[in-house]
Structure 1
């Protein structure tokens, strides 16, 4: 496991180390674990910092967490947990987009939605999320996260793209 010291005072046992995400899910199903655990989104090892394009700050992490929570809630409510392999939300922190909020112009951050479907994460295709669900996600993010005024959808397959942006 990465990040552990070389001089451990115990033997590290990692029985699932060689399994891919889809295989870990099969083990979870065989063990009868709750669906909420089996089908939850994989979390990036380096954390949310890799989903911020630009300098990572507490403020930018707060914005990303809010947008990510909204996207995950709406995908869950739409029953897409088992259809979408992973759905990273990316904050383009160094980009400002012009928009209209209230009666005036605004300069906010764009958020990128990256829902993908895959069997093993070696290849992936963008998930065809229903327009109604995308509209709810976009409306909620732009209405509830004041620093965001645009939501875009990444429809790049893997390859040539990757699932995460960084």
Structure 2
């Protein structure tokens, strides 16, 4: 019984705020949540760099090729972090939710939800970095196979990015074409 009372009191307290204040506060939270996705690219790029260094130590003659594959792959692994940054910047500087009409709790939750959605970029960042690391490692071991390794790595990274793109689409829908507003 106490839980129900607390939740009711908390929601009443939230709803006591001006709509714009509530949406801006929720947008700040959403922007911060979106940036959590940077964890994935950080891990992935660190792995790729480590494998690039390992490849260079195994075969110093292939260091230029291994480094090129590592840098290209690590750059691709950063895409989910960039998508998350875009959502955070929209929430902070070009927030379309402010101009929408509807229940303020749904609007505020949509701003937070857009940020939460972008956490889906953690997986692609790690996966793409793993592919980049293995690509650099493969080129270090077999430099003559670089074209095939590079093609396979990039194709695998493109497939791995799909969940990050899904997260972006959900975040954009919540901000620009929110179907929840019309359900009230």
Q: TM-score higher than 0.5 here?
A: no
Higher RCO structure (Cα 8 Å, ≥6 apart): 2
> Which has the larger helix fraction?
2
TM-score (norm 1): 0.31
> Which has the larger strand fraction?
1
Larger of the two Rg values belongs to structure: 2
